[in-house]
Amino acid sequence: MNNVFLSELKQVIPTDRIYTDELRTLGWGTDASFYRQIPKVVIRSDGEEEISRIVKLCSKHHLSYTFRAAGTSLSGQSCTESVLIVAGKHWEKYELGANQETIKLQPGIVGSRVNEILKPYGRVFPPDPASIGSAMVGGIVVNNASGMNCGVHANSDRMLVSARLILADGTILDTGDEQSRKAFQQSHPEFISKIEALRDRIRADEELRTRILNKYSIKNVTGLNLRPLVAYDDPFDIIAHSIVGSEGTLAFLSEVTMRTLKDYPFKASAMVYFMTMCESCEAVVAMKKLKAGSEDLQMSAEQLMVKSAEMLDYKSLSSVDDPVFLQYKKDVDDGKIAGVEPGDYHNLTAILTETKATTHEQLLEKIARIKECLSQFRLYIEADFTEDPAVYGKYWAIRSGIFPSVGGTRPVGTSCLIEDVAFPIESLPEATVRLQKLIADHGYDDACIYGHAFEGNYHFILNQSFADEHEVARYAEMMRDVAKLVVEGYDGSLKAEHGTGRNMAPFVKYEWGEKAYEAMRELKQIFDPEGLLNPGVIFNDDPDCFIKCLKPLPVLSYDFDSIPDGGHYLMDPSLSTAKETIEQVKRANKCIECGFCEVNCMSCGLTLSSRMRIAVQREICELEETGANPDRLATLRRQYKYYGDQTCATDGLCSTSCPMKINTGELTHLIRQLDMNRSKTGYQLGEFAANHLAGIKSGLRVVLDVAHLAHVTLGPTLMTSVCRGMNKMGLPLWTTAMPKKKRQPKKSDLTQFIIEKSLTPTPSNRRGSAEAEASPSWGRMEEAPKVVYFPSCINQTMGQSKHGGKIHDLVDEVIQLMAKAGYEVIFPEGMERMCCGQIWESKGMLDIADRKSAELEEALWKASEEGRHPVLCAQSPCLHRMKKVMHKMQLYEPAEFIMKYLVPRLDFHPIDRHIALHLTCSTREMGVADNLITLAKMCSNNVFLPEGVGCCGFAGDRGFTFPELNKYGLRKLRPQIEANHIEVGYSNSRTCEIGLETNTGIPYMSIVYLVNECTTPKKEPQ
């Protein structure tokens, strides 16, 4: 990289947002396409002024640049070998327009977040790519991405009102602002006159004008967007709309104002099975002709009765084990389907059909009309529309499951390619059958076709190896034949949604013809005379560029045999942590680098994301395997230590949005274990700790006591700065939120808690002693139900912080609450020696983790009388681990336990205090978050759920040693806490609560305190 450029860049951008190292350029350079280009420099931008300065600097040094939002593009348009400018996480502001009919958005807001913002107003953000949960507004608009519903009538081009742009010379133009337009008119008269001249020339050419309009009557994103030159008179409208679908080749989009649409309150779907693919397409054509009333115009911008019709061919149905398809197979093999030979299942085709309406009557009317239309076709089973979200949710899950199912079963090392073509709707029956045959003729036996039949738009998935020339040639030949079929056969679109990128760049002229292509070239020249914006994308003179720079997907291979397995200690050895970890790491080979996990990855933006970790590990494994570049290998390994390993929270939230359910946290566990194998001292320390846990817990209590004493003596400011200095030397960070030591319960408390004892009025029976003393009839010991309570090591050691202001530690509080509800508490024997194993798992000592789990499992099994009584653990991450390795008992964290067992035994008296909830990663992963929310709402009338806060980043004990992780994870929390006047926060993990308290300044504590405060024993037993 040009050193002068870099040093000048560092004068305008803080160095911590400029990456030139091997690791981060590889990580950030990875997008969802099958192309590999490693940028020389990655810049994480933070505002318009910065972008303006960067593009001027690039221009000065004649360096090309590429913009990046979420990097989920599939056609190679968000990767580069030059300068990559990321505009994601720092670009998330929005502003609602009058009546929420428009919304102004910065480019880094994730699409589904826009829908969350609009939901309370009954409105939606119309562009709806399947990637909407990860793709950002910048990428959605600039790719003109679309999905099942928006078709061509409500895509970004149609919904865009105005755009704020940063042009190649650094000028900022806001087409929605009169002043800005005037200023631009004066500063760039030539730009405007060239746009007008191009507009007028196209319009004067009737053949070209008509061709452009026809081409955009179906979905089309091949080449630059020419529609604005025909559709709008105003040159500023043309400029703004040209950005839609420009794939970063014209200008930077720094803000966009979009129209929103109303959401329909009534919806119904049916999975309709046709006897042949041809008939399914004929039915789609027929349904497209069904017109709805004019009220639909307001809602969806077009008057169609059917709102979407998704086609699933037999391979797609088979990939997801669709139950009707399985029945069809049986019927075919039993000879029950006339005219179909046993073993031949290729005819059955499903169309997932959806209709929507503003009233229920209208919905029923629409269903009746659609069914009438369908009655002319041969269906395998009768079309059955359902309004039940649970049932139609299953249909849509089948549709969404195709891609992960096919991608997930592909051979390791192959790429999962999704192609994306569109045909004019009337050609659909013939074109679809020909497409299916063409793909099969090229030997892609496992390929499946599915997609938005209603828009004539199909995707086909190929599991493609790029390992040898023969395979690359096969792919190239197939794509050339597909291009021929689409263009010469039907004048369709080679790219309907995913963008031209490098993938279709050589075919743009072929599809559009000379005149239209020249018009696109001219448009590009007006915006980007130096050709620095995303070169090679959309325009590429190399006819083979679509098969160059192909991304290798090396196998993740590790020395799995060296991982000691401690599973045999467990009651069910198949639940071994080592086995599960190895399984998960093998699963990571299915990663398609789509980037869907990044929205949930807390370290994305601080260090590496889950996708980047996998991409880097693939490179490391490849370098290890081939021995090709030992220096690069050593560098990547060294850099990975902090960016990849130490700052992975191992919370596994990445798996929750991964279509393949890959948990990159497990990859981190494995890497830590392998490191542990190399350094014997770490392992020995772990072993020592496992064998002397009771002593260590006591020691920790002493340390906390000393720290608390120092806090009282030195005061918070001096204590904090002393500890920051010590943290820099590698010691855990102490903050004012650190807990005091946990008051040690007496031995008699720990063996078996006697219920009457806890019913003695205490300060924590806060609803008043009269109520507390009204001992319920079920409170007598002989009738009391039992619960086994394992407080976790953390809660046996750490009490509340100085700010908590609570009299009781959590263990005592739980006992109080249980007693109030008439529950007898049993502690597992020897619990001071016990641990769920989480601490060892997170450090990569998987066998010790299982051994500790096994000890605990045995004690709980005994205490619960072999599973007769439920088991409660007050620390959700520990409970999460316990649930993974112990399947014989009913295990609960506090919220679920209280909802299930205590709610019927308590009266709730909600308070008005403004409280915040923190849903820990483990709470979300265990699927019990709703319990926590419901419970909190039963206790307080003002419950606040912060936005944009996922994993807190405390990550067990990592918040002590890498506090930056915790600070980054919670960067959006404090302003929300302050703005909403929150006094106290509740959660179900003591360690997370420490980090939350440190980063918000308000006390955080277990939900148990809130419930105990807001309840009294139920007067009328149920």
Q: How many residues does the chain have?
A: 1022
Scan residues 394-413 and list those touching ligand FAD (CB under 6 A): 403
Scan residues 145-174 and list those touching ligand FAD (CB under 6 A): 145-147
**Helix (H) or strand (E) run with residue 355 in it:** strand 349-357
Question: Hunting for tokens 């169309």 — which residue is that?
Answer: 351
Least distance (Å) between residue 601 CB and ligand SF4: 3
Q: Are the C-beta atoms of residues 730 and 646 closer than 8 Å to each other?
A: no
Least distance (Å) between residue 403 CB and ligand FAD: 6
Q: Which does 247 bind (CB under 5 to 8 A by kind): ligand FAD, ligand SF4, none?
A: ligand FAD
Nearer to ligand FAD, 139 or 828 (CB): 139
Nearer to ligand FAD, 26 or 952 (CB): 26
67 binds ligand FAD (CB under 6 A): yes
126 binds ligand FAD (CB under 6 A): no
Question: Within 13 Å, how many C-alpha atoms sit on residue 241's CB side?
Answer: 21
- By Cβ distance, which residue is nearest to ligand FAD? 139
Burial class (CB in 10 A: 0-12, 13-18, 19+), 937: middle
534 binds ligand FAD (CB under 6 A): yes
Q: Which does 602 bind (CB under 5 to 8 A by kind): ligand SF4, ligand FAD, none?
A: ligand SF4
Least distance (Å) between residue 176 CB and ligand FAD: 16
- Please choose, out of 115-123, 128-136, 650-658, 997-1005, the segment that lies near ligand FAD by the rule CB under 6 A: 128-136
As a whole number of angstroms, the distance between CA 20 and CA 36 comes to 17
Nearer to ligand SF4, 71 or 499 (CB): 71
Instruction: Tell which residue, 917, 920, 870, 877, has the closest CA to residue 897.
Output: 870
Other CB atoms within 10 A of residue 721 CB: 11
Q: Which does 580 bind (CB under 5 to 8 A by kind): ligand FAD, ligand SF4, none?
A: none
Q: Are the C-beta atoms of residues 348 and 357 closer than 8 Å to each other?
A: no
- Binding test (CB under 6 A) with ligand FAD, winner from 9, 74, 292, 798: 74
Full strand arrangement of the beta sheet holding 871-873: 824-826, 786-790, 871-873, 891-892
Type of residue numbered 803 = H
Q: Are the C-beta atoms of residues 138 and 109 closer than 8 Å to each other?
A: no
Least distance (Å) between residue 80 CB and ligand SF4: 19
Q: Which does 166 bind (CB under 5 to 8 A by kind): ligand FAD, ligand SF4, none?
A: none
932 binds ligand FAD (CB under 6 A): no
As a whole number of angstroms, the distance between CA 608 and CA 19 comes to 12
71 binds ligand FAD (CB under 6 A): yes
**What does the H/E/C string look like for 427-480?**
HHHHHHHHHHHHHHHCCCCCCEEEEEHHHCEEEEEEEECCCCHHHHHHHHHHHH
- Please choose, out of 74-82, 311-319, 608-616, 798-806, the segment that lies near ligand FAD by the rule CB under 6 A: 74-82
Least distance (Å) between residue 567 CB and ligand SF4: 22
Q: Are the C-beta atoms of residues 13 and 70 closer than 8 Å to each other?
A: no
As a whole number of angstroms, the distance between CA 976 and CA 383 comes to 49
Q: Are the C-beta atoms of residues 29 and 75 closer than 8 Å to each other?
A: no
Q: Are the C-beta atoms of residues 948 and 972 closer than 8 Å to each other?
A: yes
Q: Which does 142 bind (CB under 5 to 8 A by kind): ligand SF4, ligand FAD, none?
A: ligand FAD
Q: Which does 639 bind (CB under 5 to 8 A by kind): ligand SF4, ligand FAD, none?
A: none
The DSSP bridge pattern shows strands 871-873 and 891-892 to be parallel
Question: Hunting for tokens 């006897």 — which residue is that?
Answer: 275
Binding mask 211-250 for ligand FAD (x = CB under 6 A): ------------------------------------xx--
- Please choose, out of 140-148, 372-380, 386-394, 547-555, the segment that lies near ligand FAD by the rule CB under 6 A: 140-148
Least distance (Å) between residue 584 CB and ligand SF4: 11
Nearer to ligand FAD, 143 or 436 (CB): 143
Q: Which does 36 bind (CB under 5 to 8 A by kind): ligand FAD, ligand SF4, none?
A: none
Least distance (Å) between residue 384 CB and ligand FAD: 27
Return the CA Rg of the chain: 31
79 binds ligand FAD (CB under 6 A): no
72 binds ligand FAD (CB under 6 A): yes
Q: Which does 25 bind (CB under 5 to 8 A by kind): ligand SF4, ligand FAD, none?
A: none
Question: Within 13 Å, how many C-alpha atoms sit on residue 430's CB side?
Answer: 7
Contacts with ligand FAD: how many residues (CB under 6 A)? 38
Nearer to ligand SF4, 319 or 664 (CB): 664
70 binds ligand FAD (CB under 6 A): yes
Least distance (Å) between residue 499 CB and ligand FAD: 6
77 binds ligand FAD (CB under 6 A): yes
Q: Which does 68 bind (CB under 5 to 8 A by kind): ligand SF4, ligand FAD, none?
A: ligand FAD
Other CB atoms within 10 A of residue 802 CB: 16
Beta partners for residue 315, in sequence order: none
**Helix (H) or strand (E) run with residue 498 in it:** none
Question: Hunting for tokens 């849903």 — which residue is that?
Answer: 919
Q: How far apart are the first and last CA of the chain?
A: 74
Nearer to ligand FAD, 591 or 951 (CB): 591
Q: Which does 242 bind (CB under 5 to 8 A by kind): ligand FAD, ligand SF4, none?
A: none
For the record, the structure tokens of 714 come out as 């030195």
- Where are the strands (E) in 874-1008, listed by range? 891-892, 906-908, 911-917, 940-944, 984-987, 1004-1006
Instruction: Tell which residue, 578, 598, 587, 579, has the closest CA to residue 556.
Output: 587
Q: Which does 129 bind (CB under 5 to 8 A by kind): ligand SF4, ligand FAD, none?
A: ligand FAD
Q: Which does 497 bind (CB under 5 to 8 A by kind): ligand FAD, ligand SF4, none?
A: ligand FAD
Scan residues 88-117 and list those touching ligand FAD (CB under 6 A): 107
Binding mask 582-611 for ligand FAD (x = CB under 6 A): ------------x-----------------
For the record, the structure tokens of 584 come out as 């998960």
Least distance (Å) between residue 465 CB and ligand FAD: 19
- Binding test (CB under 6 A) with ligand FAD, winner from 143, 308, 355, 405: 143
Nearer to ligand FAD, 67 or 823 (CB): 67
Contacting residues toward ligand SF4, per CB under 6 A: 591-597, 600-603, 610-611, 613-614, 648-654, 658, 660, 662, 664-665, 668, 951
Q: Which does 664 bind (CB under 5 to 8 A by kind): ligand SF4, ligand FAD, none?
A: ligand SF4
Backbone angles phi, psi at 272, to 5 degrees: -105, 125
Scan residues 632-691 and list those touching ligand FAD (CB under 6 A): none
- Binding test (CB under 6 A) with ligand FAD, winner from 136, 553, 648, 977: 136
As a whole number of angstroms, the distance between CA 370 and CA 392 comes to 17
Burial class (CB in 10 A: 0-12, 13-18, 19+), 1020: exposed
Q: Are the C-beta atoms of residues 310 and 302 closer than 8 Å to each other?
A: no
- Binding test (CB under 6 A) with ligand FAD, winner from 157, 310, 322, 497: 497
39 binds ligand FAD (CB under 6 A): no
As a whole number of angstroms, the distance between CA 455 and CA 556 comes to 39
Read out DSSP for 972-1013?
THHHHHHHTT--EEEES-HHHHHHHHHHHSS-EEEHHHHHHH
As a whole number of angstroms, the distance between CA 242 and CA 735 comes to 52
| Chain centre distance of CA 801 | 34
Type of residue numbered 178 = E
Residues that bind ligand FAD (CB under 6 A): 31-32, 66-74, 77-78, 87, 107, 129-131, 135-136, 138-140, 142-143, 145-147, 247-248, 252-253, 403, 497-499, 534, 594
